[in-house]
Amino acid sequence: MFCSTSTDIFTAKIVYFLAASDSFIGALPEELKLTVLAAAIVCAYVLGRRANSRTVEIVDQSRRDLRRAQAVARDLEKVSMLIKKQLSKHQVRVNKFKQRVTELSMSEHENAWRELCREAEDMLRPTMQLASQISSAYDEIRQQSGHLMTFTDVRTDPLTGLANRRALDETLNSQFAMKQRYDSSFSIAMFDLDNFKQINDEHGHLHGDQILKEFTRILDDCARETDTVARYGGEEFIVVMPQTCLNGAAIFAERIRARIEEKMTVTISGGVTSIVEGDTPETILTRADETLYEAKSAGRNSIFKNDGKQSSYVKPESYCDESKPVAI
């Protein structure tokens, strides 16, 4: 079929309008009437294709958002069920403890107090465990809340649909809180499209926007549901990967580089680093940016990683078919 249903409808409306306008059509020379109608059909087809292309982009973004939302819902449900189960068990222990306290309080036996102390000690241990589990659940809910926040307009980049700088800052703060509480690690990868200014200058900003959208679709599809993919600014993007070591993140970044080189007409460079002792959100971002600059200086279309002390080149041999980050 030459064009889609929506295009056909739009074309029909234009043709009907021209055909119904006797004063317009009648005033034209006979040889121009078909030309005008043909031009109307071509315009309708182009506009319809453009509208359909935008619709496909919206559908693709909605599908990615749906997958992320489903992952968040699953994680929150797991947390809820775990806490519910532990609270139910703890309630049984509390009831037994209350019963024993009542029994011992009515006893005049000299060992009653010692027995009460032992019962209290037995009760304290699971209570402390439950407190720790609730604390972990709170941190998990806080992290998932951060993912939920990326669905709101104020935390979404309007062009790409990815998390924006505000959402990225909140994600990093959450990861640093997890590091402080549980000593958990995470890594970040910063990507930049090579020679993007030249693309804009030669082909225009609309073409540049399409390049950015195509790149972000590939990047977002390759990331895990637990990762945060954000537009850092301009043509720079960041992926925050929880529970991922430096080598695992570097392999992921190299796979992305290779896939972009294979699927697109542009190339990318990347800098990868992991959290180290004494880091802040500002220092880890600065280190990733400096590592990215090293990749640019080395000739672009490459990935470098930094362990907090020195940078090194990530060899293309690290690439394999699977593109998800490699966790610790």
**Residues involved in catalysis:** 235
CA angle, 240 as apex, 239 and 245 as ends, to 5°?
110
Distance of CA 294 to the CA centre of its chain: 25
Burial of 133 from C-beta contacts in 10 A (0-12 / 13-18 / 19+): middle
Other beta carbons within 10 angstroms of residue 102's beta carbon come to 10
* Residue 266 contacts residue 260 (beta carbons within 8 Å): yes
Other beta carbons within 10 angstroms of residue 17's beta carbon come to 11
Residues 49 and 11: their CA atoms lie apart, in Å, by 12
Which residue, 286, 256, 258, is CA-closest to 273? Answer: 286
Strand pairing category for 303-306 and 268-274: parallel
3-state secondary structure of 217: helix
Q: Describe the strand order of the beta sheet including 236-242 as a list of residue ranges.
A: 228-233, 236-242, 186-193, 268-274, 303-306, 311-313
Q: At what angle do helices 205-222 and 30-105 cross, to 10 degrees?
A: 30
- Name the β-bridge partners of 312: 305
Residue whose tokens read 């500002």: 282
Residues 229 and 213: their CA atoms lie apart, in Å, by 13
